[in-house]
Structure 1
Amino acid sequence: MYKVKHIRPQHFDYDLIVIGSGAGGGVAANLSARIGKKVAVIEAGKVGGECPNYGCTPTKALLTAAEAYTGAKEASRFGIRTHNLNFDYASVKAWKDKAVYNTGTHDGAQAFTRAGIELIKGHAHFLNKWTVSIGHKRLTARKFLIASGTYNLIPPIEGLKQTGYITYREAIELERPPKSLLIIGGGAIGVEFGEIFNTFGTRTVVAELAPRLLVKEDQEAGMLLERTMTEKGIEVHTGTKVIKVTGKPGRKEATLEKEGKISKIIVEEILLATGKAAMTDIGLENAGVAYERGGIIVDQYMQTTAKHIYAAGDVVGPYMFTHMASYQSRIAGHNMWRRSRVRAKYHAVPRCVFTSPEIASAGYTETELIQKKIDYQRAAIPISIIGRSNTSGQDTGFVKVLASYSGVLLGATIVAPRAGEMIHELTLAIHKGLRASDIDETIHAFPTWSEAVRIACSKIICT
């Protein structure tokens, strides 16, 4: 077996080489450049990475358009008359493209240049602990940050490759909504696209192997989401395995299995939303960087097993969120140059799913507390009891808070129209170890959705 030689160069081309230009790499790159370090960022794909180009930004722009269309269709209950209501999907797509443009990714290379960072396009591969190759070029650095991201997991379904499928990357570029669509996977990506295409007239089917949607989140939230999606006309199959796919472009047949029973559906298109895996095929073995199925192994300082090499973002986990990647990159960017080191903490990470209503959570779920044998108390209230629900005509959802027996907040889940905004009050409380009474004793404006947070916290017994 060939043994890699780790000879530390006397001179380095850069102080820091970052692999990946997304949030996991960009934050540390800019922090390092600001303190005078010579930095290069290597990017194989689009500058800015996954979120602004393919993920968060385009999907949320499409969801905003879908929400506007739904609101217009339901406006008659408020006395608003809309005649001959329709949509132009080309214009919807143009809105999405504008949102992506506004993120500045088109100007990404110039932004790095203005920050004094060299952007290098190509695939990076470690040759040893101090050297990476990009094509025929070899570059050395004192430190590295790996933020290489993920790739789509393709399930081993018979006939899937031959029949064809799309992922979220192709879904955001469709020129028109498909007439019918099977979404394989009931996580955040699957349910968000389910709502997008269903709103714009697609007969939508979601098949999820787990017993409920959003299986990693609060059980009641997943069950409520299934109910609301079904009410909107989305066909949801939980506890269901797709075992075979056949057909041709425009007409695809999927065979589903649930509890031993077989059923078949015919759709125009199949969208895979079955998860992602860490992009670790960059010569990590040559650099002495350990990794496992979930991604690169790092310590609480974001250091890998090669102490001058750091990693951040989706390639690390435990959550694949842009805000998590930015946070980890900031931790790495601090620790690689400063003596006072900062630890990464994940006990209060906000998690949002932008369905209608939105679902947001932070801290532990009940399932996690039970698994860890942590004693807790819970309180939950329906959003229908607050004034904002009455004035908006939206009454589906709840706020649930979990706390220790002394009242210290441990976790929270919100299902509400603006849950993604509401969760941060509880995230801060969990992060700082506050009690539910601290929120209850804080005046909340009337009528706002956030009143539901205070009322839920008022139900927790604090000692």
Structure 2
Amino acid sequence: MAQKVIKTDLCVIGGGSGGLSVAAGAVQMGADTVLIEGGKMGGDCLNYGCVPSKALIAAAKKAASLDHASDFGVKGERPNVDYGAVMDHVASVIAGIAPHDSVERFEGLGVNVQEGYGRFISPRQVEVNDTIVEARRFIISTGSSPTAPPIPGLEDAGYLTNETLFENREMPEHLIVIGGGPIGMEMAQAHRRLGCKVTVLEAFKALGKDDPDLTSIALEALRGEGIDIREGVKIANVSRDVDGVQIHLESEQGGEVISGSHLLVAAGRKPNIDRLNLEAAGIEYDRPGIKVDARLRTSNKKVFAIGDVAGGYQFTHMAGYHAGIVIRNALFRLPAKVNYDAVPWVTYTDPEIANVGLTEVQAREKFGDDIRVLTFDYKENDRARAELRTEGMVKAITTKKGKILGAGIVGLQAGELIHPWTLAISGGLKISAMASFIAPYPTLGELNKRAAGSFYTPSLFSEKTRKIVRFLSKFG
């Protein structure tokens, strides 16, 4: 039987955050659009990543809410945790958002949704099931998947990833986490607060991609909650018996065996390209993902790649940003290019860690000594004192002339407090703009203003200023 052929303006491969944004935008702007999705609509973010993890973190915060209540004069019993019910809460949050990302909604918008995995059969054709899609432009937005390190015995022992963790309804007695990055540390703290014993094993430095001035504060807090975080660990092998999973450390670390009931691997991700048959379309790729230029075009200029599959920043909000760049290029033929100067990211531990722009190390590599490092501690903020959450700091990096290069925050609501720094960098504002706005009192937002204001402290309270004031005072 002859295959059905669909001719269209735009074909989007992958129904995750970025792909859905492109499809919805394109069809509402008048482009004939085909969307191909072989898994769950909404992709990793809705089903396995951002949404379920933040729902679990929220439940864990509720469970831990009375741990320090006595400091406020409030006493109460620590709540009993029904782990299965917690995961039901997670599932309900996913279910509440799912209709927005559903096949039915997108077909209602006018998108031709093809449920199946697409593969290129030529530079201008993709095959899905018994259908061939011929498009003027293609957008690959297939995302990424968790990957596991090559540890002997790991596959046979079995383990959880972020794709299977939220299906588990059995409370871990002892959760072992391999990987001390954002996902590993977020899930470690959430499970600890739900009542699990938790051990994190990290081959290098926990939260090693962030500023150590910030991560040291967060890691101290996590260890203070009872999480066993081990850095520089080398695992010899993994095994499992009726009692659970055993992690055997290498002999130079004493040959210790760590036993747990559940094992979560959060040690990296890989681009979802295996099914795409990219060679048939002349699309170049490497280990991090599909190679793209500043306009997000692949080596086949009729094909774009966005989000995780294009390598680089693996954040849902970056896929959404990429979607806007691609729509301008693919639909309007505008030479829009990506700009990563003001990319924010947040690690949702408690305290949170938020960053935008350059870190201090990156700034010094690029500008040498022509930078200023501005800091302000949470303990100097009255709202933080009222909340008894004085652990944390704001750290901003500028040039000596006041151009904002980056900012990092660790502390309560850091993910919210990073927003004005992101706006300042993307808008090309100088540090004076952040220092001069009126912040309502008492709010955590004053932290940003005070950190920015410290840029002027050396000159404002200098001997030169004092001489000027004394001189002017002589005139009445």
Q: TM-score, normalised by structure 2?
A: 0.91
Match of 2:185 in 1: 191
Secondary structure of the corresponding residue to residue 255 of structure 1: strand
Match of 1:273 among 253, 266, 270: 266
Match of 1:66 in 2: 60
Match of 2:364 in 1: 370
The answer to whether the 8 Å contact 2:201/2:231 transfers is: yes
* Superposed displacement of residue 250, structure 1: 4.4
Matches of residues 245-256 of structure 1 in structure 2 within 5 Å? 245-248=238-241, 250-256=243-249
> Residues 57-104 of structure 1: CA distance to partner in whole angstroms, max 9, x if unpaired?
011011011111111333232233324632222322222112111213
Match of 1:419 in 2: 414
Q: For residues 456 and 262 of structure 1, do their structure 2 counterparts lie closer, same or farther at Cα, with a shift above 3 Å needed?
A: farther
Q: For residues 33 and 454 of structure 1, do their structure 2 counterparts lie closer, same or farther at Cα, with a shift above 3 Å needed?
A: same
Match of 1:5 in 2: none
Secondary structure of the corresponding residue to residue 266 of structure 1: strand
> Residues 175-215 of structure 1: CA distance to partner in whole angstroms, max 9, x if unpaired?
132100110101110000001111111110011111x2211
| Separation in 2, partners of 1:249, 1:120 | 44
Secondary structure of the corresponding residue to residue 372 of structure 1: helix
| Separation in 2, partners of 1:371, 1:259 | 35
* Superposed displacement of residue 133, structure 1: 1.3
1:437 corresponds to 2:409: no
| Separation in 1, partners of 2:163, 2:333 | 41
1:320 corresponds to 2:282: no
| Separation in 2, partners of 1:461, 1:306 | 51
| Separation in 2, partners of 1:301, 1:197 | 41
Secondary structure of the corresponding residue to residue 185 of structure 2: helix
Match of 1:220 among 213, 236, 240: 213
> Residues 329-381 of structure 1: CA distance to partner in whole angstroms, max 9, x if unpaired?
11101210113332211111110011111110100112222333543210112
Secondary structure of the corresponding residue to residue 65 of structure 2: helix
Match of 2:444 in 1: 449
| Separation in 2, partners of 1:319, 1:451 | 30
Q: For residues 228 and 302 of structure 1, do their structure 2 counterparts lie closer, same or farther at Cα, with a shift above 3 Å needed?
A: same
1:31 corresponds to 2:25: yes
Give the residue type in structure 2 aligned to 1:315. Answer: V
Match of 2:148 among 154, 162, 169: 154
Match of 2:222 in 1: 229
Give the residue type in structure 2 aligned to 1:73. Answer: D
Match of 1:404 in 2: 399
> Residues 32-60 of structure 1: CA distance to partner in whole angstroms, max 9, x if unpaired?
10122111111111011110111000110
Secondary structure of the corresponding residue to residue 45 of structure 1: coil
- Is there any run of 5+ residues in structure 1 with no aligned partner, and where? 1-10
The answer to whether the 8 Å contact 1:213/1:223 transfers is: no
The answer to whether the 8 Å contact 2:15/2:36 transfers is: yes
Match of 1:300 in 2: 294
| Separation in 2, partners of 1:19, 1:138 | 13
Match of 1:3 in 2: none
| Separation in 1, partners of 2:333, 2:84 | 53
Secondary structure of the corresponding residue to residue 439 of structure 2: coil
* Superposed displacement of residue 137, structure 1: 2.6
| Separation in 1, partners of 2:278, 2:432 | 48
The answer to whether the 8 Å contact 1:245/1:252 transfers is: yes
Instruction: Tell me the percent identity.
Output: 34
The answer to whether the 8 Å contact 2:157/2:240 transfers is: yes
* Superposed displacement of residue 428, structure 1: 0.9
Q: For residues 250 and 449 of structure 1, do their structure 2 counterparts lie closer, same or farther at Cα, with a shift above 3 Å needed?
A: farther
The answer to whether the 8 Å contact 2:439/2:445 transfers is: yes
Match of 1:20 in 2: 14
Secondary structure of the corresponding residue to residue 359 of structure 1: strand
Q: Which moved more, 1:307-316 or 1:426-435?
A: 426-435
Matches of residues 388-403 of structure 1 in structure 2 within 5 Å? 388-403=383-398
Match of 2:470 in 1: none
- Is there any run of 5+ residues in structure 2 with no aligned partner, and where? 460-476
Q: Which moved more, 1:261-270 or 1:162-171?
A: 261-270
Match of 1:42 in 2: 36
| Separation in 2, partners of 1:405, 1:257 | 48
The answer to whether the 8 Å contact 2:6/2:132 transfers is: no
Give the residue type in structure 2 aligned to 1:274. Answer: A
